[in-house]
Amino acid sequence: MPRAHGPAIEAQLRLHGPRTALQLAEALGVSQPTISRAIASLGDDVVRLGRARSARYVLARPLARAGDRWPLHRIDADGRPHTLGELRALHGDRFQFTSTAPRPVLLQGEFRDGLFPGLPWFLDDQRPQGFLGRQLAHRVAADIGAVDDPLRWTPDDIVLCLLRYGDDAPGDLVLGDTALQSALQHALAPQTIDATQRQTHYPILADAALRGEIVGSSAAGEQPKFAIILRDGDSHRPVIVKFSERSGTPAGRRWADLLRCEHLAAAALRAHGQPAAESQVFEADGRVFLESTRFDRTPALGRRGFVSLAALDAAFYGHGRIDWWRFAPLLQRDGWLDAADAQRLAVLGWFGTLIANADMHLGNSGLHLADAAPLALVPAYDMLPMAFRPASNGELVARDYAVVLPTPEQREPWQTAAVIALAFWSAVADDPRISVGFHAIARGAHETLRRALDRLR
């Protein structure tokens, strides 16, 4: 009787994870047709992965009170929703994604049959992280039965959070109908502030963010920030706004300098043909505010896809940390980037190094996620001389600027980056809003880098 073998099959799948019909037949000492009939009798409790003789079977599992499967949606640049497929929870913290159409970027390599050992890599950047992510986690942890620290969340915790509160995560993906409905409703009646009222509203929003209130999305990054939509007449502009401490302390003044440096770095990149996030700087209530237009949102309140290099690396490479100029040729080799964007990533990697950006992890760059490769590199963001940030206790520690020199094969992107970095350091040294102490740092860095570039020309 097929049903008689059902419990034994379930036990095998719980113990060993995905199994083929042949493996199950050998383990239970029965024929493959018997296994096939028994699996059919188990219905939706067993999920089939792949086709024909290579097909594997795995147990489905419900997730809390949220069921075991959910639609995955995309909101396009015009704000229209599209269903990409279905995410399903499987035994052993695994997930299956079934696509409604061929999507070679999402399902390739070891993931071609839709099986993922944890949360699918293309959803990894949607998990709560950074300053705003910790605030969101603290607010919703009790509701989803998770601990306060999102770094300790399980994949199930993340999925529950996305299902209930994932309406405005980075990128264009939305998991589940509840979050999608919330996202669409917010686009119909967006909460905005008038662009002419930023000087008044930004200090209020900064104080609210520091009190732990959720202001905007769970965009990543440790710098205090909030996310809002600006209204300028009939147009809308989603932005992320970082802010400094009040400038009455040395640490506050240094963070104000660094935010201005981030604005100047983006301007230098754009002036030399390198796409970078559009930004503006404001002063209000003793703070400096850096407002950056979101490249994963559109004026129509639509969205653009995003995946960080960190998520891509974790899924397909496993470096953890790698210089961007070393990663770029690997991404080009494997079809993720075309030659032009691979070259641009290498230049950005060297530029960040030459402006003393000590925070060049893979989460600080990414690609516009789409169905087919190559993917487009997103505009540069979070580019600032973090080596000169205050220490954790607020002290300003003296640090020397040192030039990292290229290997012969990296000479061309290094030289391109060095020219842009010289323009950056010159702009910092000439900016009257930047402190005298940081002017001296900029002049020293400019002279050191100029000598290095002259020797390599």
Sequence spans of domains, the chain: 5-59, 69-186, 322-456
State the Cα–Cα distance between residues 200 and 203, nearest whole angstrom. 7
| Catalytic residue IDs | 359
Could you report the per-residue pLDDT of 15-40, keeping only the tens digit for each? 888 888 888 888 888 888 888 888 88
End-to-end CA distance of the chain: 80
Q: How many other β-carbons are positioned within 10 Å of the β-carbon of residue 10?
A: 16
Residue 118 pLDDT exceeds 60:
yes
Spell out a b/e string for 429-439, using b for 16 or more CB atoms within 10 Å of the CB, else e. bebeebbeebb
Domain 5-59 has CATH 1.10.10.10: yes
Q: How many other β-carbons are positioned within 10 Å of the β-carbon of residue 402?
A: 12
State the Cα–Cα distance between residues 415 and 396, nearest whole angstrom. 31
Q: How confident is the model at residue 3 (pLDDT cuts 50, 70, 90)?
A: low
Could you report the per-residue pLDDT of 183-239, keeping only the tens digit for each? 999 999 999 999 999 999 999 999 988 887 656 555 555 788 999 999 988 889 999
Could you report the per-residue pLDDT of 28-85, keeping only the tens digit for each? 888 888 888 888 888 888 888 887 777 888 898 988 778 899 999 999 999 999 999 9
* Three-state DSSP class for residue 438: helix
